[in-house]
Amino acid sequence: MKVTTIGTGYVGLVTGACLAEMGNHVVCLDVNAEKIKMLNDGGIPIHEPGLDAVVSRNVAAGRLQFTTDVDAAISHGTILFIAVGTPPGEDGSADLQYVLSAARSIGQRMTDYKVVVDKSTVPVGTADRVRAAIDAELAQRGTPIGFSVVSNPEFLKEGAAIEDFMKPDRIIVGSDDDQATLMMRALYAPFTRSHDRLMVMDVRSAEFTKYAANAMLATRISFMNELALLAEQVGADIELVRRGIGSDPRIGYQFLYAGAGYGGSCFPKDVKALVRTGREHDQPLHVLNAVEEANERQKRVLVDKVVARFGEDLSGKRFALWGLAFKPNTDDMREAPSLVVIHELSKRGAAVAAYDPVAMSEAAKLLSHVPGVSFCERADHALANSDALIVITEWKEFRTPDFDRIKSELNQAVVFDGRNLYEPATMKLLGIEHHAIGRGTTAPTA
């Protein structure tokens, strides 16, 4: 099939590359000429495991192309994915200007039947607005051409996006028309060969499903984070509690990890947007409102612990900070809890020596004006002359560090463990003061 993705960001690029992998001919369009040049020169603008290989294989096979040429891109695809950004506007609602401008571009140029697929996360009712925008352009041209608008939200996890696309848990297709449904079924058939994972529903339910999923997951995390704070007060260990409740199949083990707060491009934005939708419909989402508040507080929990240990004035202190990306296996810094921690430490006069396996150049762009921040080539380089180590992102390489080195290089053997990577009992034996999330503080054995 001939496919075009309008928007070659994270979602558009992964979608385009994975569809090309199954034999489709895909053109990825973007307004950003620099990004398209980079892709055409063999580069990949984001860090995503496995993406590089899929892109280069399919470019070499002539099935995947990158362009800024809007006319050519729209004429190429019978299926046009809209995968442009939907950043939060000032009031928290999703800003649809890029989605609607993509729709207008399609309406201005299409000459034959198209299936227009909303892939970006968009509020309920957006498909109707996309349809209206295309209709308006066609009416102006005086050319009645058939088209369908379908909602097909993505559920890709950064760092596992290729795997998620190739072996999806589910594919949601919101469609009110048979021809488009058939085409979407055919497009996704190779991804659901073992058993059918494609669910067809009405457009509005599909649009809503995406928000509901992210809101549910964000709620789970925030609730665990709050339980963790209380666990510390009452002397319970949230890790044991997690295992205790996760064993109930109705709860399950996944997404139950207390930590330094959630970040990324999806949860914060989608939670805000759904809260906003609730308000617009006079149906306030009390629980979700609290989720957002709890997460803002959670991003400061590590700072609170540092301040409780070292005092409000941190001038003259230096902290080694491991992990900048909002989660492992990505260089994405959007809404990363590390940003809050670094700003707060810097504000109190501390120096921060940061290390991340892949996100340092992204982080440097955002932190260039923050006083006292430096970046280290290796994790252990951050330790020397630092007063404590703060771990924020659970990269695998931080799971079993050289504890003797941590102990000998830090001015004081103090670790703030924002992702509960280390066992309090082990740290106690090692003689390292350990501040975890929801597990209390372990002072070393005297």
Using the Cα atoms of residue 36, residue 42, residue 47 and residue 52 in order, give the sign of their dihedral. positive
**Of residues 30 and 154, the one with the C-beta less far from ligand UDX:** 154
**Of residues 218 and 410, the one with the C-beta less far from ligand UDX:** 218
Shortest Cβ distance from residue 263 to ligand UDX (Å)? 4
Shortest Cβ distance from residue 287 to ligand UDX (Å)? 17
Given 18, 28, 266, 376, the catalytic residue? 266
- Cβ pair 79, 117 in contact under 8 A: yes
**Of residues 55 and 291, the one with the C-beta less far from ligand UDX:** 291
Q: Distance between CA atoms of 88 and 94, rounded to whole angstroms?
A: 5
Query: Shortest Cβ contact with ligand UDX: which residue?
Result: 266
Q: Distance between CA atoms of 115 and 185, rounded to whole angstroms?
A: 12
Shortest Cβ distance from residue 197 to ligand UDX (Å)? 15
**Of residues 76 and 327, the one with the C-beta less far from ligand UDX:** 327
**Of residues 266 and 301, the one with the C-beta less far from ligand UDX:** 266
Shortest Cβ distance from residue 257 to ligand UDX (Å)? 3
Shortest Cβ distance from residue 270 to ligand UDX (Å)? 7
- Is 266 tagged catalytic? yes
**Of residues 46 and 307, the one with the C-beta less far from ligand UDX:** 46
């892949």: which residue's tokens? Answer: 358
List the beta bridge partners of residue 173. 200
Shortest Cβ distance from residue 203 to ligand UDX (Å)? 18
Shortest Cβ distance from residue 75 to ligand UDX (Å)? 30
Shortest Cβ distance from residue 301 to ligand UDX (Å)? 12
Residue from 300, 309, 302, 299 nearest 443 by CA: 309
What residue ranges bind ligand UDX (CB under 6 A)? 154-158, 214, 217, 221, 255-257, 259, 262-264, 266-267, 326-327
List the beta bridge partners of residue 149. 116
Interhelix angle 97-109/126-141, nearest 10 degrees: 30
Q: Which residue numbers are catalytic?
A: 266
